[in-house]
Structure 1
Amino acid sequence: MDVSLQEMKPGDTARVVGFAKGERDYRQRLLAMGLTPGAVFSVTRVAPLGDPVEITVRNFTLTLRKDEAAILKAVRA
């Protein structure tokens, strides 16, 4: 079952399974940052209002805004 990054809490872990249609430029940026299908990431922190979300993927930290993270499809690991 797909899980949204917005639904995840600090400490939750998930695996990237793909990306939503559209937003090709931003999808390419996420791929370049290591969020490739199969990559496992964990939520490190969430801002008080839920935006942005900090994740750890491939031993580095990445911060994503809600609208940017919306194209990411993941399943709980």
Structure 2
Amino acid sequence: MGCNCGCGGKSQTKKWDLEPKFSDLKKGDKVEIVGYNEGDARYKSKLLSMGLVRGVTLEVLQIAPLGDPIEVSVLSYRLSLRRQEANVLKLKRV
């Protein structure tokens, strides 16, 4: 079954149109924090106290060899975050 939009049954949604999860980021990606998903309130509090608030831009600097943690540049410092814990962040690509 295809749609009636004229795409020939192929989706027009591009990968970069979707909100990325923190765990999907690659080296060099730049994202902006747009909010928080449901999750551990204590961990959200820690992220907020480190300056990870709405409107802040993150740049992925390095990813550990086994994929966890991820080092990001935020504000004027570097921060390493675990993938699954940081998925609480709602992001959009910059």
**TM-score bracket for the superposition, by shorter chain length:** over 0.9
CA distance in 1, matches of 2:57, 2:64: 21
RMSD of aligned C-alpha atoms? 0.9
**What percent identity do the matched residue pairs reach?**
39
Unaligned runs of 5+ in 1: none
What do the CA deviations read for 1:3-45 (whole angstroms, capped 9, x no partner)?
A: 1111111111000011111311000100110110110110000
Partner of residue 28, structure 1: 45
Partner of residue 19, structure 1: 36
Bigger CA radius of gyration? 2
Give the counterpart of 1:51 among 68, 72, 78: 68
Normalising to structure 1: TM-score of the pair? 0.93
Unaligned runs of 5+ in 2: 1-17
Which structure 1 residue ranges, 4+ long, deviate > 6 Å from structure 2? none
Identify the structure with bigger relative contact order (alpha carbons < 8 Å, sequence gap 6+).
1
Normalising to structure 2: TM-score of the pair? 0.77
2:34 equivalent to 1:6: no
What do the CA deviations read for 1:25-77 (whole angstroms, capped 9, x no partner)?
A: 00010011011011011000001111000000001001001121111110001
